[in-house]
Amino acid sequence: MGVAALATAVAAAFLVLPLLALFLRVPPSSLFHAAGSSVFRDALVVSVKTSLIAHACVLAVGTPAAYVLARRRFPGRSAVLTLVELPLVLPPAVAGVALLAAFGRYQLLGGTLHALGITVGFTQAAVVLAVAFVESPFYVRGGVAAFEAVDDDLLAAARTLGAGPARVFFRVALPLAAGGLAAGSALALARGLGEFGATIIFAGSLQGVTQTLPLAVYAQFEANFDVALAIGTLFVLVGAVLLLLLKLAPAWSRSASISPFRPAASTSA
């Protein structure tokens, strides 16, 4: 136990120390000044807007996809899981180049989109695609694990009682897996908020258009290190608040703790 406690303390100190250094280095006055700057405000709006849109798309597509991958066994399932996990091992710069090759003007799909009057590269749509590309494996893989942990007997009971596939998914599987899905969602959102490499290659760093908070920190790092520190500190606060709100969402927490087959406790003696 002593060794385990020491290892835990070392790990916690290693993770907390850099963040603590940010707050110790930046006085409150600098934080207020940075929060009022146009660079921070514009980057915050772009980050929150694009991250929420990308995250909503990942949740909408990734949740049923994770359910199918977890509950169905079909030829090529391992290959599909490998493809889902592949972005996890790709350097962010490679992800950006790949997105540019797929959606850039006159590239694989970009030429067709351009002919239809749709421009993707170096727009906020490119930021959304970059964020969704890098965060989706975190959510889908976590979702697969969450749905795999659901008791097969409960799903079978629901089908026996006449529930169709959609009803089994929404009324049984989804509530029971909500805790794991919420954890995967928080991890994916955090990854999306911190995305840098794919975004700067595929979307660029245009203030008020495609410059997210990580890109703003990088831009200010070359211009004014103190401003970069202040914006970085604010980014930590924004990320912590968003993650906390997501983890404490009432709908998720209530669903995670209540079984759909458990009757309400009687109040009578």
Q: Are 104 and 198 in contact (CB under 8 A)?
A: no
Q: Specify the pTM.
A: 0.84
Whether residue 167 contacts residue 158, with contact meaning beta carbons closer than 8 Å, is answered with yes
Question: What is the token pair recorded at 97?
Answer: 């180049």
Confidence at residue 266, expressed as pLDDT on a 0 to 100 scale: 41
Taken in order 77, 83, 86, 88, the sign of the CA dihedral is negative
Question: What is residue 216's predicted lDDT score, i.e. its pLDDT?
Answer: 93
The answer to whether the CB of 212 falls within 8 A of the CB of 199 is yes
Question: Is residue 117 situated within a structural domain?
Answer: no
Residue 261 CB neighbour total at 10 angstroms:
13
Position 78 scores a pLDDT of 92
Query: Residue 250: inside a domain, yes or no?
Result: yes
Residue 148 inside a domain? The answer is yes
CA 232 to chain centre: 19
Specify if 82 maps to a domain.
Answer: yes
Q: Is residue 106 part of a domain?
A: no
- Over residues 1-54, the pLDDT tens digits come to 688 889 999 999 998 998 888 888 888 888 888 888 899 999 989 999 999 999
Q: DSSP for 93-116?
A: HHHHHHHHHHHSTTSTTHHHHHHT
What's residue 27's pLDDT? 84
Q: Which residues of the chain register pLDDT less than 70?
A: 1, 246-247, 249-269
Q: With beta carbons less than 8 A apart as the criterion, state whether 240 and 23 touch.
A: no
In tens, the pLDDT along 89-113 reads 999 999 999 999 999 887 888 778 8
CA angle (89, 83, 148) in 5-degree steps: 100
pLDDT at 138: 95
- Give the sign of the dihedral formed by CA 133, CA 134, CA 137, CA 142: negative
34 occurs within a structural domain:
yes
CA distance 216 to 114: 29
CB count in 10 Å sphere of residue 249: 15
What's the total number of domains in the chain?
1
Residue linked to tokens 């007997």: 153
Q: Is residue 111 in some structural domain?
A: no
Output the six-digit token pair for 107: 């590239």
CATH of the domain at 186: 1.10.3720.10
Parent domain of 190? 29-89+138-197+207-257
Cα–chain center distance at 50 = 11
Judge contact between 104 and 120, C-beta under 8 A. yes
* Residue 112 domain-assigned (yes or no): no
Measured in residues, the chain has a length of 269
231's enclosing H/E stretch is helix 225-247
Q: How far apart are CA 236 and CA 249, in angstroms?
A: 20
Please report the pLDDT score of residue 256 as a whole number.
Answer: 47
Token pair, residue 43, equals 């980057």
